Amino acid sequence: MPKQLLVEGLPQRPSQKTNKFKPSGGFSTSLESTQVSVSTNLTGGKYSAPTLEGSEFDRMRRYGLILGRWSLPNIDKEAKKTTMPVSCYEAANRLVANDMFKNTFGDDPTQGTVNLTPYINAFNSGHITPELIHSVAGFIGTEAYSTIVKLIKSSPKSAQIKRALTEMSNSIQTNVFDDKTYYEYGLNALHERGRYAKNRAIGLFSYIASIIASHSKSLMEEVSDKPQPKSTKKLGEKPDKPTRLKMLPEESGWCKPYLAKYPLELPHTGKMGRRNIFTNEGKYPKHFHRQVTDPFRRIFSRKTRSLGGVVVFDCSGSMGLSEEQVQQVLRSSAGCSIVCYSDHGDEAKDAEFGNIHLIARNGRQMRGLPEFPGGNGVDLPALRYGYDHLRLNGKSPVIWVSDGQVTGESGTHSAVLWRKTEAYIKRRNIHHVQTPEEAVKLLNKLQRGIRK
């Protein structure tokens, strides 16, 4: 390993005008001070890296090489566009670098290169800032992050801090690294030409930055001594009244439908569109340049499309719905929207709390689940809303999860209303299943192109 950081020795990044990097004048003595700024202009980027002998300094130089290869350029401009802090994008760059370092060198970049004491002391002191959280988030996926979480003990709110940091790490792992299709598709766009590829890469890093920003905000709310607004419910708690209520068109025989909307604060895998997935096997090799640009050397590709879909849940007393079942549905199909319905049997309460609830849409979901009083009342209006307003395209499937016991204004099962509902789902080709588990299996089949 050379003593200098020779980023220019890496293969050219086609999306950049230059691949030259100049020393920034700084001398790094830790992993955090090893920095690379990737620029899209002709002046080139800058780097700061150590020049001393030793395994720790070699590790930092290799980390600098990874940063130069897999960082998003001009993160300050992207942060300004999305109104997120630059530190969130810096953490996203380092998260990707941690993963690529592990894949390339089979090593943990934080071994012997990070002094964890200042981070632990800062959390234990109670003087927690968003910048501290963003900085620590850049260690996710390494031993350093696990050690920081483990050693937070002295703070009076250490349990909340540990839980919040663990949730942030799990969210990154589940929504980013475990979703190989989206992650690799966006990451490899860094080395492709064209505006479309550029937008794919920006989308990936912005998505990671948004997860960090969201969890950072939640953690700051938990440790703050100031009273919080009612919209800051934690995951698993029952939400307050909906922020918006809208009356949908009435239908004969059914209760008046009131659509309840809540803040969709949490991200989920909401990704749509046709994708070019690169693989190690195939019939015709098309991407020989990936022998150099891709550490996995995937020179074959195949096309895929994420269908998304709409799932309408009957949440009457005979059905029920848990938060884990909702998460399983969201993980089974990217871009999925979820609607739940349950009627109070009292129009005044329906008008106040709603009887049709939108809990996930466009890659966002609400915290927790609303209260379900136990009636049906609005089966067909809920299906019409899901089919007419939530499908992203004509091929998005609609799935109705219900035992088939539909009720209207009478509050009891009605054969007339069931015939109306059955005719509607047949005409619209809506899939009817009886349990959330069946919905997950069906979504997975439809995603693979297998028809019911």
362-412 residue pLDDT tens:
777 888 888 888 889 999 999 999 999 998 778 889 999 998 889 888 888
Please check whether the domain covering 244-272+308-447 is classified as CATH 3.40.50: yes
Average pLDDT, the chain: 82
Closest CA to 404 of 437, 438, 433: 433
Residue listed under structure tokens 């001594």: 225
CB atoms within 10 A of CB 427: 8
pLDDT category at 448 given cuts 50, 70, 90 is low
Which is higher by pLDDT, 43 or 240?
Answer: 43
Residue 94 has pLDDT above 90, yes or no: yes
**DSSP letter string over 76-136?**
HHHHHHHT--HHHHHHHHHHHHHHHHHHHHSS-TTTTT---HHHHHHHHHT---HHHHHHH
Confidence of residue 179 (pLDDT cuts 50, 70, 90): confident
Alpha-carbon dihedral 50, 53, 54, 59, rounded to 10 degrees: 40
Q: Which residues pair with 262 in a beta bridge?
A: none
pLDDT at residue 233 above 60? no
Of residues 429 and 194, more confidently modeled: 429
Q: Ramachandran region of residue 445, left (φ > 0), alpha (ψ -120 to 50) or beta?
A: alpha
CA 433 to chain centre: 27
Please report the pLDDT score of residue 15 as a whole number.
61
In this prediction, residue 222 carries a pLDDT of 75
Angular region, 74: left φ>0, alpha ψ -120 to 50, beta rest: left
> Would residue 54 be called left, alpha or beta, if left means φ above 0 and alpha means ψ between -120 and 50 degrees?
left
Q: Is the pTM of this model over 0.75?
A: no
Helix axes 379-389, 415-427, angle to 10 degrees: 10
pLDDT of residue 7: 40
Predicted confidence (pLDDT) at residue 232 exceeds the cutoff of 50: no
pLDDT tens string 260-307: 998 887 766 544 444 566 777 777 787 777 776 776 677 887 665 567
pLDDT at 310: 94
Among 128-132, 141-145, 180-184, 199-203, top mean pLDDT goes to 141-145
Residue closest to 174 by CA, chosen among 334, 298, 399: 334
Task: Give DSSP secondary structure letters for 128-175.
Answer: --HHHHHHHHTTTTSHHHHHHHHH--SSTTHHHHHHHHHHHHHHHIII
Predicted local confidence at residue 272, as pLDDT: 43
What is residue 234's predicted lDDT score, i.e. its pLDDT?
A: 45
**Range of 32-41, 55-64, 190-199 with top mean pLDDT:** 55-64
d(CA 376, CA 276): 43
Mark 238-268 as b/e (b = at least 16 C-beta within 10 Å).
ebeebeeeeebeebeebbbbbbbbbbbbbbb
Q: Beta strands 310-314 and 337-341: pairing type? A: parallel
Q: What is the end-to-end Cα distance of the chain in Å, rounded?
A: 56
Query: Which pLDDT score, from 0 to 100, does residue 3 have?
Result: 37
List, by residue range, all CATH 3.40.50 domains of the chain. 244-272+308-447
Q: How confident is the model at residue 165 (pLDDT cuts 50, 70, 90)?
A: very high
Tens-place pLDDT, residues 361-373 = 877 788 888 888 8
Q: How far apart are CA 128 and CA 46, in angstroms?
A: 30
Residue 232 main-chain phi, psi, to 5 deg = -95, 50
pLDDT surpassing 50 at residue 360? yes
Q: Residue 1 pLDDT > 50, yes or no?
A: no
